[in-house]
Amino acid sequence: MKQKKDNLKNIIFVMLLIILFIQLIPTGITFLNWNRNKELSEKIKSEALSANIYIVKVEKSEGYNTTSTSYSVGSSGVIIGRKEDRCYALTAEHVISDWKNENINYLVMDHNDMSMSDYLNSGEEFISNEGYYSKFPSVVVEYADESFDLALISFVSDEDYICLDLANQEPKFGDVVATLSNKEGERNIVSSGIITRPNPKLTGISDNNISNLVIRHNAHLAPGSSGSALVNEDLEIVGINLGGYENIFRRFISGMTMPAESVKEFLIDSNISY
């Protein structure tokens, strides 16, 4: 009987070690990815940061003799071109999926614009949410396609933003890449990693059983990263980030990205020139 109890204790101990090991591996990998390739991260911050945009969802709700307005934490997008004072950007379709709802609007904040909380913490004079967000340009959805989970949007600005180009070559397994996004409400976050699969993988990318070929990588993504750019060492867009995978402990494992070739196909379908 004693031997059986000892064996059971040993089994439980081993299982706990395995669980701990599984939990710590993604954390370690993520830590390395966040800190790897400092040169690429610095290059992005100095040469590509202004291409990153922050997309805020504004929703009006009607109550009894009242109207309230809510503002989302925000998601990401990347500027790819402009025509005079109109800038064109890519994001994920699910970021702006409610754009046809008359009670919902989307605003664009650029890489230098402070969030409302940062504005208040800066010591500036108090202003209401409506007053603060009213100064930012509204999003125009030029074209959206759920089958790609992509959207081409535009907004008006006279600021001089960087426009990133789409890559002409697919990234290879092991290539260094980086994301530029606004994950979890933080602004202009650069996370580096590598391509983790030799070829794009057929994956479901929407709630309507639509599948598409996507790139897998381990540059860290989090809520708010949707619609952000995945770039190579030449600062070319190799894909648009759509989401990520987590393990059973909700630790990030890998990112899911629509490759540049599919993005180009989407842009051709849009028939929008910029």
Per-residue pLDDT tens over the stretch 185-202: 889 999 999 999 877 766
More confident position, 77 or 13: 77
Residue (of 188, 171, 156) closest to 44 by Cα position = 188
Query: Which residues are within 8 A (CB) of 95 and not within 5 positions of it... i.e. 6 or more apart?
Result: 55, 75, 76, 77, 151, 226, 227
* pLDDT tens figures, 17-43: 666 555 545 555 555 545 557 788 889
pLDDT band at 97 (very low <50, low <70, confident <90, very high): very high
Using DSSP's 3-state secondary structure scheme, residue 127 falls into coil
Structural domains in the chain, sorted by start: 37-47+165-270 (2.40.10.10), 52-156 (2.40.10.10)
More confident position, 124 or 12: 124
Q: What is the pLDDT of residue 48?
A: 96
Mean pLDDT for the chain? 87
Report the pLDDT averaged over residues 86-103: 96
The separation between CA 92 and the C-alpha centre of its own chain, rounded to angstroms, equals 8
Q: What is the pLDDT of residue 1?
A: 55
64: exposed, middle or buried (Cβ count in 10 Å: 0-12, 13-18, 19+) = exposed
Q: What is the pLDDT of residue 251?
A: 82
Q: How far apart are CA 262 and CA 148, in angstroms?
A: 8
